[in-house]
Amino acid sequence: MLTLNNLSSPKGAHRNIKRLGRGQGSGQGKQAGKGHKGQKARAGGGTRTGFEGGAMPLYMRLPKRGFTNAPFKTEYAEVSLSAVDAKFDSGEVTREALIANGLLSGSDKRKPIKVLANGELSKALTFVNIDKFTKSAAELVSKAGGKIENK
């Protein structure tokens, strides 16, 4: 039974601290691993992140104007036709059906759905309220006798 008197850390969880400046014999005596003099050898010494010795730093040289739509881009949950063909025998393909068959999981359950034309579709399936299809996926669905409905 695990009690307070027999608790121990797992192997490798604890390392001895490096004791700096405790004599020549310790291996970290005299300059304590800081070399000879200079800004980085001083207490509190060193420069801020991005400092380039007084030269104009890279983050200040780069242009900051312009526009990026990255925070607002739409990410789709991608479903391939071959996966749909393997999981569905007939009937309607909806968001709920895709989740029930394990084709959408995690955050993909909430994202808009896009059907990709990877593989073939051999059954006439009806796709209901699916947000997007690639051109070739839509062609394969209609070629197999299926329909795309948006209610």
Tell me whether residue 114 is in a domain: yes
Tell me the residue range of the domain where 140 lies.
73-149
Tell me whether residue 21 is in a domain: no
Tell me whether residue 110 is in a domain: yes
Cα-Cα-Cα-Cα torsion 125, 129, 131, 133, nearest 10 degrees, comes to 20
Domain count, the chain: 1
Tell me whether residue 105 is in a domain: yes
Please tell me the pTM assigned to this model.
0.57
pLDDT means per 10 residues, the chain with 151 residues, are: 92 92 92 92 93 95 91 95 91 93 94 94 92 95 92 70
Residues 23, 28, 29, 32, CA torsion sign: negative
Nearest by Cα to 92 from 39, 150, 49: 150
User: How many angstroms separate the CA atoms of 151 and 146, rounded?
Assistant: 16
User: Which residue's entry shows tokens 């990709």?
Assistant: 116
pLDDT at position 150 = 85
Residue 137 sits in a domain whose CATH number is 3.100.10.10
Query: For residue 113, how many other CB atoms are within 10 A of its CB?
Result: 22
Tell me whether residue 96 is in a domain: yes
